[in-house]
Amino acid sequence: MKILSVNAGSSSLKFTLIEFPSKNTIASGLFEKIGMEGSMYTIKYNGEKIVKSAPLDDHSVAVSKLIDELIANKIVDSLEEIEGVGHRILHGGSEFTSSTLLDEDVLKRIEKYNELGPLHNPANIMGVRAFMKVLPNVKNVGVFDTTFHQTMKESEFLYPVPYEWYTEYGIRKYGFHGTSHRFIYKTISEYLKRDDLKVISCHIGNGGSLCAIDSGRVVDTTMGFTPLAGIMMGTRSGDIDPSIIPFVMKKTNMSAEEVINALNKKSGLLGISGLSSDGRDVENGANEGNERCILAQNMYAQKIANFIAMYNNLLNGADVITLTAGVGENSKTMRKMIIDRIQSLGVKIDDEKNDFRGEFRLISTDDSKIPVYVIPTNEELMIALDTLELIS
Ligand code: AMP
């Protein structure tokens, strides 16, 4: 049996085709510039790579093309082999507390949360409708970034603001990257054969968030009402004093949207280094002695370390710290910079064990008070697993 795992953006559609029970990825790819000039797609399978330009007027055309290519290249023998499609959906508000089978009624309910995720939710839903149109007999499942964090209690997800803002407008911490944090918790608890683990999961890529998990329940996470909150990221500021926003508006004549845009797109590693949002560029700059890159790296590592220390307190002592996503999986320098800043917790990195990229490994010393693991995340597999469970 095969399951498609899909992440639709406003002009893109990313897919992974996963086979069960082996859980192997048999094909993956990306459709780009949908509805624009110069649309194209890439499909990887069996060591081969298809790159083609083609007019892709909308997401349905992209989905039809995908199906045609899967059959033409014998990646699937017939459409019947695809038994379900799992969709990444950014926001399910407080309503969706688990992954769910999708139909038109459910999509209408999800649309209520579009204003909470205006860049992603409408596009995610567009992707679902495209599959419903092209493959009307295949079941679709929605897997939300927010659901894992729905296990937080009121005292944990509320902001200390007028309570009516929560009851009237839904202002609360929602948290994101839930599918990744859930995958990491599942992986480490299966590996250590324990379901009562207290885990500090650090998802650090271009976007980034930390999550404190106690026995599978989220106790806190660093992203908030939107993904702008928490740690410093590639282009996002993370937490700042909100009074900065009206102050900058007055000084620059920017609108609130423009300031928020700068906090989302021009801050973080990019804002401080003045060079790049990419950890590799900033690392190269720092190695060449660029002071702003060194400053950006130090700030980035320190913000993450501070949250780890806070979460260790919140969990009353963590059992495991995990690092994942682009930076966590690949940058030994940043991993070391972070771990060196939590020595007060008795955590120590083993430089030899840390010398690798992109694998599941323990990187702490034998006498480290809390073990630190690098675990490659796999949101696509998590989406496919949920889909399999719901369609079975
Ligand atoms: P993600 O959002 O998880 O795909 O992560 C993407 C980010 O990972 C990139 O923007 C880079 O900043 C970072 N990254 C990937 N490889 C490395 C590396 N070897 N060193 C530092 N950062 C890296």
234 lines ligand 1 (CB under 6 A): yes
> Per the domain annotation, does 197 fall within a domain?
yes
* Nearest residue by C-alpha to atom 10 in ligand 1: 278
Beta sheet of 372-374, edge-to-edge order: 217-221, 208-214, 198-204, 320-324, 372-374, 361-362
Region for residue 215 given its phi and psi (left: phi exceeds 0; alpha: psi -120 to 50; beta: otherwise): left
- The number of domains in the chain is 2
pLDDT for 80 equals 87
Do residues 54 and 39 lie in contact, with contact meaning Cβ atoms separated by under 8 Å? yes
279 lines ligand 1 (CB under 6 A): yes
Question: 289 phi and psi, to 5 degrees?
Answer: 90, 10
pLDDT digits (tens, 9 = 90+) for 135-148: 999 999 999 999 99
Reported as type and span, the H/E element at residue 32 is strand 24-32
Please tell me the distance between residue 334's alpha carbon and the centre of ligand 1 in angstroms. Answer: 10
User: How does DSSP classify residue 200?
Assistant: E
Same domain, 115 and 197: no
Same domain, 137 and 272: no
> Per the domain annotation, does 150 fall within a domain?
no
Do residues 83 and 2 lie in contact, with contact meaning Cβ atoms separated by under 8 Å? yes
Please tell me the distance between residue 288's alpha carbon and the centre of ligand 1 in angstroms. Answer: 19
What DSSP string runs through 286-351?
HHTT-HHHHHHHHHHHHHHHHHHHHHHHHTTS-SEEEEEHHHHHH-HHHHHHHHGGGGGGT--B-T
Same domain, 121 and 202: no
16-42 as b/e, with b when 16 or more CB fall inside 10 Å?
Answer: bbbbbeeeebbbbbbbbebeeeebebe
Residue at token pair 């329940």 = 217
Do residues 356 and 363 lie in contact, with contact meaning Cβ atoms separated by under 8 Å? no
Last residue of a domain, one of 127, 144, 161: 144
> Per the domain annotation, does 384 fall within a domain?
no
- Domain residues for 137? 2-144
Same domain, 197 and 76: no
CATH of the domain at 258: 3.30.420.40
Ligand 1 nearest atom to the CA of residue 283, by list position:
21
Please tell me the distance between residue 326's alpha carbon and the centre of ligand 1 in angstroms. Answer: 4
278 lines ligand 1 (CB under 6 A): yes
pLDDT digits (tens, 9 = 90+) for 332-348: 999 999 999 999 999 99
pLDDT digits (tens, 9 = 90+) for 135-188: 999 999 999 999 999 999 999 999 999 999 999 999 999 999 999 999 999 999
Q: Which of 57, 145, 340, 386 is catalytic?
A: 145
Same domain, 354 and 276: yes
**From CA 177, how far away is CA 385, in angstroms rounded?**
16
Is 319 a residue of the active site? no
Same domain, 246 and 372: yes
> Per the domain annotation, does 237 fall within a domain?
yes
326 lines ligand 1 (CB under 6 A): yes
Same domain, 309 and 207: yes
377 lines ligand 1 (CB under 6 A): no
Please tell me the distance between residue 277's alpha carbon and the centre of ligand 1 in angstroms. Answer: 9
Q: Letter for the amino acid at 349?
A: I
Same domain, 271 and 135: no
* Nearest residue by C-alpha to atom 15 in ligand 1: 326
pLDDT digits (tens, 9 = 90+) for 23-74: 999 999 999 999 999 999 999 999 999 999 999 999 999 999 999 999 999 9
pTM of the full predicted structure? 0.96
Same domain, 256 and 137: no
356 lines ligand 1 (CB under 6 A): no
Look at 79 and 366; give whichever has higher pLDDT: 366
206 lines ligand 1 (CB under 6 A): yes
pLDDT for 141 equals 98
Same domain, 126 and 238: no
Ligand 1 nearest atom to the CA of residue 207, by list position:
2
Please tell me the distance between residue 359's alpha carbon and the centre of ligand 1 in angstroms. Answer: 14
Last residue of a domain, one of 110, 144, 178: 144
Same domain, 233 and 103: no
Ranking 39-43, 118-122, 217-221, 336-340 by mean pLDDT, the lowest is 118-122
Please tell me the distance between residue 300's alpha carbon and the centre of ligand 1 in angstroms. Answer: 13
Percent of all residues in the chain with a pLDDT value above 70, rounded to a whole number: 100
* Nearest residue by C-alpha to atom 22 in ligand 1: 279
280 lines ligand 1 (CB under 6 A): yes
pLDDT digits (tens, 9 = 90+) for 73-104: 999 998 889 999 999 999 999 999 999 999 99
Beta strand 2-8 with 320-324 is unpaired
∠ at Cα 339 (337, 157), nearest 5°? 110
